[in-house]
């Protein structure tokens, strides 16, 4: 296995809710349930590797997620790899939908997908208790889309998936688009129209150095400022107020209030100070930051028979040691040992 595991900080963590040593309350968990993917997006994968890490059983993810929820996690997002490829997904969603937060509310339960299998899975996912999905779509022009995914026919498959998700009520439906200069930055205005026509919220995301290959440079990143300026030239944007402090997207609507655009700018306007998130990889490692240099082997402890109480203490200690921020673009920046597809985006 590529990444090193480490012991968490020895500082004493607060008992009840997950909090880090920088005073941030952690209530958001992303769980990867496979690092397999049926797409080979040019900015994400080299196309040479498949899965690299083991998957846990569905019951094992459930046990670990329950521990996090008992420590104050309120939002769970299932991801991958491509989570719709994972056998047992509907059982997992059904069980997660029954969990309650420390306040007694249902979890905020969402899933991120490339949408390829959503046309058939949207309705069963909704019936199982999933609330909403985010679909990744990096172009609204079919040839550009398929040049990026490297899968023929993928554009229309995903479009049907998006519509099936909306019809099934997996809403509010978000579309994520990672922008790369020279690949799809000519899609910005098209996406603004798409947001209005399909009544979806489009989120543009700045490209981060998390790819399998070596594509990232500061120049390839399309910054928030440029995205706003370009849309505004064709359709005036009105800023929307943040719904919560840890919201990652700067949100805008159009002058007539139809459609929503958001921009997630981890590179040019990092939001680490308000980060409320930790991740669990498909092989059961806790990652406290996308850019962590170390991982924390929760599953290994579970497999060796540790009690729920000890595992919870391990989670709390690990989260307490969460990094203050990432260092993208700074001298000495190191990419993490896993790329996005193997961490869980």
Write out the residues near ligand SAM by the rule CB under 6 A. 37, 44, 79-80, 82, 112-114, 136, 176, 178, 205, 207-208, 210-211, 340-341, 345
Rg (CA), the chain: 19
- Alpha helix locations (H) across the chain? 58-70, 89-98, 118-128, 142-149, 154-168, 188-197, 224-234, 298-303, 308-320, 340-343
Smallest distance, Å, CB 304 to ligand SAM? Answer: 29
Contact status, residue 171 vs residue 177, Cβ threshold 8 Å: no
Of residues 210 and 231, the one with the C-beta less far from ligand SAM = 210
Beta bridge partner(s), residue 78:
31, 111
Smallest distance, Å, CB 115 to ligand SAM? Answer: 8
Beta bridge partner(s), residue 19:
25
Total number of residues shown for the chain = 345
Smallest distance, Å, CB 342 to ligand SAM? Answer: 9
Name the strand (E) or helix (H) holding 287. Answer: strand 285-287
Closest CA to 228 of 242, 239, 216: 239
Of residues 82 and 295, the one with the C-beta less far from ligand SAM = 82
Smallest distance, Å, CB 114 to ligand SAM? Answer: 3
Of residues 212 and 323, the one with the C-beta less far from ligand SAM = 212
Of residues 31 and 298, the one with the C-beta less far from ligand SAM = 31
Side-chain-side CA neighbours of 256 within 13 Å: the count stands at: 6
Of residues 56 and 118, the one with the C-beta less far from ligand SAM = 118
Name the strand (E) or helix (H) holding 317. Answer: helix 308-320
Q: Residue number with the shortest CB distance to ligand SAM?
A: 345
Smallest distance, Å, CB 261 to ligand SAM? Answer: 16
Q: Concatenate the DSSP letters of all residues of 3-50 into one string.
A: SPB-PPP-SPPPSSS-B-TTS-B--EEEEES----S---TTT--SS--
Smallest distance, Å, CB 313 to ligand SAM? Answer: 30
Smallest distance, Å, CB 206 to ligand SAM? Answer: 7
């Amino acid at each position: 296995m590529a990444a090193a595991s480490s012991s968490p900080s020895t500082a004493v963590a607060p008992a009840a809710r997950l909090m880090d040593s920088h005073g941030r309350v952690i209530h958001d968990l992303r769980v990867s349930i496979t690092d397999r993917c049926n797409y080979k997006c040019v900015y994400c994968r080299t196309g040479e590797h498949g899965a690299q890490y083991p998957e846990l059983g569905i019951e094992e993810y459930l046990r670990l997620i329950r521990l996090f929820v008992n420590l104050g996690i309120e939002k769970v997002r299932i991801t991958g790899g491509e989570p719709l490829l994972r056998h047992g997904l509907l059982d997992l969603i059904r069980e997660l939908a029954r969990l309650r937060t420390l306040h007694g509310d249902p979890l905020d339960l969402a899933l991120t997908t490339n949408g390829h299998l959503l046309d058939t899975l949207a309705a069963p996912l909704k019936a199982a208790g999933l609330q909403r999905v985010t679909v990744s779509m990096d172009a609204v022009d079919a040839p550009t889309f398929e040049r990026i995914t490297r899968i023929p026919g993928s554009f229309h498959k995903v479009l049907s998936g998006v519509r099936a998700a909306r019809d099934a009520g997996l809403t509010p439906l978000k579309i994520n688009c990672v922008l790369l200069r020279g690949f799809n930055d000519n899609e910005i205005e098209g996406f603004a129209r798409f947001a209005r026509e399909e009544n979806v919220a489009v989120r543009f995301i700045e490209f981060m150095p998390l790819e399998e290959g070596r594509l990232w440079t500061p120049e390839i990143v399309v910054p928030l400022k440029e995205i706003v300026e370009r849309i505004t030239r064709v359709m005036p944007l009105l800023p929307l107020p943040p719904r919560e402090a840890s919201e990652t997207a700067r949100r805008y609507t159009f002058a007539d209030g139809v459609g929503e655009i958001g921009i997630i700018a981890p590179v040019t306007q990092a939001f680490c100070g308000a980060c409320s998130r930790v991740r669990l990889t498909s092989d059961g490692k806790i990652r406290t930051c996308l850019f962590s240099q170390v991982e924390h082997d929760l599953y290994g402890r579970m497999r060796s028979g540790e009690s729920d109480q000890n595992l919870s203490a391990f989670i709390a200690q690990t989260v307490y040691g969460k990094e203050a921020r990432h260092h993208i673009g700074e001298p000495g920046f190191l990419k993490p040992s896993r790329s996005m597809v193997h961490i869980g985006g």
